[in-house]
Amino acid sequence: EAQVTQNPRYLITVTGKKLTVTCSQNMNHEYMSWYRQDPGLGLRQIYYSMNVEVTDKGDVPEGYKVSRKEKRNFPLILESPSPNQTSLYFCASSLTQTSGARGRELFFGEGSRLTVL
């Protein structure tokens, strides 16, 4: 089954304790992206990756890191989480999003709800 898998789905942690949210897709997609969803703000992009070893900042990258060492995986790293990073996080992927192919729809994971105390 084609899917985007995120782990963990739920996590409660404390300020400053490093954590990683994993994301894996089995559709051989070039493009992957992380979003956070907050009430009244919709989805805001954190980081994205056009392909392996190519990552770039989205609209709200502060406090986050990513890596794309393999095509299927795109982990989100919070080096020192703070309470303002409490949110619902979504990973998404699609076929290439180069300039001639920006109409490709995104496939989303089920979400990871993070609470930072």
Write down the least CB distance from residue 91 to another protein, Å.
9
Residue 33's closest CA among 23, 48, 20? 48
Residue identified by tokens 């994993």 is 22
Q: Which is nearer to another protein, 63 or 111 (CB)?
A: 111
Q: The tokens of 68 are what?
A: 């794309």
Write down the least CB distance from residue 111 to another protein, Å.
6
Contacting another protein within 26-85 (CB under 8 A):
33, 35, 40-45, 48, 56-59
Q: Which is nearer to another protein, 47 or 116 (CB)?
A: 47
Residue 4 binds another protein (CB under 8 A): yes
Contacting another protein within 94-113 (CB under 8 A):
97, 99, 102-103, 105-111
Distance between CA atoms of 88 and 96, rounded to whole angstroms?
25
The beta strands (E) that lie in the chain are given as: 4-7, 10-13, 19-25, 31-38, 42-51, 54-57, 65-66, 76-78, 87-94, 107-108, 112-116
Q: Which residues bind another protein (CB under 8 A)?
A: 4, 33, 35, 40-45, 48, 56-59, 90, 92, 97, 99, 102-103, 105-111
